[in-house]
Structure 1
Amino acid sequence: MPVRALSSTLKTLAVCDVIAASPKPMRLPDVVRATGDQRAAVYQRLRTLVDAGLLDQTADGAFRLALRFQFYAVRALEQANLGDRSSELLQEIVSESGETATISVLDGYHAVIINRVESRQVLRADLRVGARMALGGSASGSVLVAYGSPEMRARLREQGIVLSDDAHLAEVRERGFAIFAPTDPQLVSAVAAPVLDAAGQCVAVIAISGPTTRFDHDRCGPIAVAAARRFSAQFGHA
């Protein structure tokens, strides 16, 4: 007999999602409006999460995510081992494309690089592990947004995060990869493709970057897509 999930637990944890979607701590009335539940029930869930160490309550009574989530995020990346697992693949991309290859994941309101292999060329993209890229101003960010849910995009826009318009994001999904092609020749150009899990969710982004003066989007785009598909297979994506 299948075991049912505890609906009360799911509703309590859903409060974390609501607060995580806010750029600042939320007061009780704000959480009540966001969840649509009764005030007493929402307050009980908030207090439960505070006692569990998942939320902090500020001096003025607002609620925010506890730093324990930072620990969880770091451990999740370590356990997924995306960095080490991607090194060989990134090296293959560099050998084929001649440009720098990176893998990034979503971290709050940015795409953050968790592994890279540099191009062997003297003139190359200088992208560091830990570098954060805007969701609306980078190829990797565009992929994370394009393959995210409509609800995620709506929440980000409500919070003032600048994203590409829906028409552009639809083009990214149809093409299978995003393109960043700045007009300034001193900037870095890039293409990026999604790494998908068994459920079709985007868990990471493979990107190829190089100096705009020589970068070939038409050649590098298919290389990124093929590499991302190979990596997706490791996560059960058909």
Structure 2
Amino acid sequence: MSNSSSRTSSTVATALRVLGILSEHPEGIGVSEMSRQLGVGRSTAHMLLSTLLQQDFAFQDEESMYFLGLRAFEVGAAVPDVARFGGALLGPMRSLADLSGEAVSLAIPRNRDAIIVQRFETRHVLRMDIRVGTRMPLISCASGKVLLASMTEAEVDNLYPEEDLPEVTSLSVRSKTVLKSRILPEVRRQGYAVTEGEYAEGIDGVAAGITGSNGSLVAALSVAGPSSRFVIDQWVEPVLTAATAMTHLLSRNSG
């Protein structure tokens, strides 16, 4: 009985590792690379992926690349709002990443944080460890400001009952009054948000919102890079264009 339990636990653990690896490769991953990362034979990796494919925890494109499937998002209580982010919806993100050469992320709100649910890495060295699952304070990142700007005043007050806001870096906003009276109105007026060293000093970014079929904001798309080479004004329009494309795709897929 103990041996059977051990084998079952090992199988489940390996399947969960496959899901984890898929989540770290929004651009897709092949059987050989999955085999290498798992440290198992190619046939074993193929069997695991095929099983996940049959259960809709993974999907495969025409180039035989595997992606995290919709079922994986559906059972993830932490990310219910992004169950439909995948497949064709990743196209605008990939295009923005290719165009900029910088890190492109998709985030959703959870309490006081923006959680990264999809990400394309920069072609350059970035002195930050950000990946799928990373939580970033809403008040300190461009995506977080976009998400906060979609909330009502009461919702913002509920998140931040005190006037003093938590310090993230020396450049992060520390006053709720400033956040509500200046920063969030500006985001609403512009349709995008920026961050300049507020999450990590020396890192700047731009973000725009993605709207669901019901007209409410469901996620924020961002691009970020070192301030030494990242020109914020240069990437406002590309981010807005990509976010609009994802909004249209999301609406079309919901119809």
Q: Same fold (TM over 0.5)?
A: yes
1:230 aligns with 2:254: no
The residue that corresponds to 1:167 in the other structure is 182
Answer yes or no: is the 8 Å Cα contact 1:198–1:235 preserved in 2. yes
2:219 partner amino acid: A
Which range is displaced more, 114-123 or 167-176? 114-123
Structure 1: gaps (5+ residues): 1-69
Instruction: Give the SS at the match of 1:167.
Output: helix
The residue that corresponds to 1:177 in the other structure is 192
Determine the C-alpha separation between the residues in 1 that align with 2:156 and 2:94: 32
The residue that corresponds to 1:76 in the other structure is 80
The residue that corresponds to 2:224 in the other structure is 209
Percent of pairs with identical residues: 28
The residue that corresponds to 2:70 in the other structure is none
Change (3 A) 1:109 1:161: farther
Which residue of 106, 109, 114 maps to 1:111? 114
Determine the C-alpha separation between the residues in 2 that align with 1:166 and 1:110: 21
The residue that corresponds to 2:147 in the other structure is 144
TM normalised by structure 2 equals 0.58
Instruction: Give the SS at the match of 2:148.
Output: helix
Which residue of 144, 154, 157 maps to 1:154? 157
Which residue of 117, 126, 129 maps to 2:132? 129
Answer yes or no: is the 8 Å Cα contact 2:141–2:198 preserved in 1. no
Which residue of 91, 96, 104 maps to 2:94? 91
Which range is displaced more, 153-162 or 174-183? 153-162
**Once the 2 structures are TM-superposed, how far is the Cα of residue 168 of structure 1 from its aligned partner?**
1.1
Answer yes or no: is the 8 Å Cα contact 2:136–2:199 preserved in 1. no
1:101 aligns with 2:83: no
Answer yes or no: is the 8 Å Cα contact 1:125–1:211 preserved in 2. no
Which range is displaced more, 176-185 or 207-216? 176-185
Instruction: Give the SS at the match of 2:106.
Output: strand
**Once the 2 structures are TM-superposed, how far is the Cα of residue 190 of structure 1 from its aligned partner?**
0.7
Instruction: Give the SS at the match of 2:251.
Output: coil
Change (3 A) 1:150 1:84: farther
Determine the C-alpha separation between the residues in 2 that align with 1:102 and 1:148: 21
Which range is displaced more, 182-191 or 123-132? 182-191
**Once the 2 structures are TM-superposed, how far is the Cα of residue 197 of structure 1 from its aligned partner?**
1.6
What are the Cα deviations for residues 67-117 of structure 1, in whole angstroms up to 9, with x where unaligned?
xxx966247256x23255543222100111221100000112210001100
2:109 partner amino acid: L
Which range is displaced more, 197-206 or 223-232? 197-206
